[in-house]
Copies of this chain bind each other. A is one copy, B any other.
């Protein structure tokens, strides 16, 4: 039988519900949090942080899940694989991603830890600091990798955070293998500078062995990956290690690296940054949607920048307005 592409982008990641509250800088200090980073926490610490933090809003999150929702919002066929428990938050996660038009079929865990949650503290400057209790996301297992779905997806997109739960690592490698055997592409986001620090040799091996075709990273992550404070040194190393990469630089836009050279693409100006949660995720969404639509590097970068600009102007990491309308208004889509 011939294999047909049914999804343009399939994401695999930790299925997480975000619990978001505004806070002051000193809350982070007092609770030993690294501003702007993602820390993994256990159940008692989760309880202590929730107890101490202010009134919150809950919204479905998870890095790759946010990206995939953004991809679907740009009119591109999208699917997601990630593990929740069959509990209240798990049903919320499943509702939200399906309601966004994403194919999501991973069976929820009947037992074990509750659905993952991320306690996000947003400081007055709009920066977010994340504390993730992985819960049921730990239980993503190679058996959850639907081979037919992966083979039917033009791009499989993985988050670096998957390297933290140990079963998920195997699931990650299984998915990449299936994708390549079906002649598809595999993309990875490095996720977080501390995550890179935890898994540097393994991430480099994934890139150098050709397991990954396209890398998404921000400046802090490439600096961490190559343990250098010099951006150009890091970029030069990245170019030799992977076929294609996109490095985001906040308000300076992004740098797209490919076989033909590199292109700097500007960001979209934003009046007021409310909450940076999801900025990187939505950048990847726009870029991947551009790729799926056959856009050139610059157009992909601009679509990424546009989606990122939308999500940082409100609380939460999922778009609140139609990305497709936004792309049309800005001449990035017909």
Contacts and interface: CB of A to CB of B under 8 A. Distances in A.
A69 interface: yes
A250 interface: no
Interface in A177-234: none
A20 to B, nearest CB: 9
Contact of A55 (B22, B53, B55, B318): B318
Contacts of A59: 56-58
A141 interface: no
A245 to B, nearest CB: 30
A99 interface: yes
Interface stretch (A87-95, A126-134, A149-157, A326-334): A87-95
Contacts of A318: 55
A60 interface: yes
Q: Is the interface of A mostly helix, strand, loop or mixed?
A: mixed
A21 B96 CA distance: 10
Interface of A: 21-22, 50-51, 53-60, 69, 87-89, 92, 95-97, 99-100, 314-316, 318, 320
Given A55-B60, A56-B59, 20 more contacts: A21-B99, A50-B95, A51-B95, A53-B99, A54-B99, A55-B69, A55-B95, A55-B97, A55-B100, A55-B318, A56-B92, A56-B95, A56-B96, A56-B99, A57-B57, A57-B59, A58-B59, A58-B92, A314-B314, A315-B320
17 contacts: A21-B99, A51-B95, A53-B99, A54-B100, A55-B60, A55-B96, A55-B97, A55-B318, A56-B95, A56-B99, A57-B59, A57-B316, A58-B58, A88-B89, A314-B314, A315-B315, A315-B320
